[in-house]
Amino acid sequence: MTDPYRRRLVTALGASAFLAGPGLSHAASIVTTRSLRFENLHTGEKLAVEYFAAGRYVSEALTSVDHLLRDFRTGEAHPIAPGLLDLVSTLRGRLESEQTVHVISGYRSPKTNAILRERSHGVAAHSLHMEGMAMDIRVPGVELAHLRDAALDLRRGGVGYYPDSDFVHVDIGRVRRW
């Protein structure tokens, strides 16, 4: 599902393309913008960003996302995969939520990952956080189990459920669950 306004727009564009013939069908199939709102719960920083516009990813916006989702322990930033942003955007649409996505963890440096791995058996040695391909999130007003189920339904990567820590892990690796 997508938000009601986007659904109406896509439906209207699709109908226009059908009525006008093949010339418009390609234009109607292109989503013109994608945006997200994040809050990094460790730094308190917030970001509202349109990261995809006019058929391309916006490099300045991606740089802002990289900074917000940096390893808060070391200050290191790393490119966040645009596909991960698309996953989170699609997930918000599926949830029919326009809430700010609360981020517990985005990028993790190898040093931070090693420290966390020593403290917990739940941290993967080759975590996709180290590649900018994973996020630990929650969405205000959305039950954690509902967030997990929506992410699983997308079948676009891994989904980890951590109810005791109040977050869901999403990544764009292979489809799996834990």
For residue 122, name the pLDDT band (cuts at 50, 70, 90).
confident
Residue owning tokens 């990094």: 40
CA distance 31 to 79: 23
User: Is residue 32's pLDDT more than 90?
Assistant: no
Q: Is the pLDDT of residue 162 over 80?
A: yes
Task: Give the per-residue pLDDT at 30.
Answer: 58
Average pLDDT over residues 55-83: 98
Distance of CA 27 to the CA centre of its chain: 25
Task: Using pLDDT thresholds of 50, 70 and 90, give the confidence band for residue 74.
Answer: very high
Mean pLDDT of the chain, nearest integer: 87
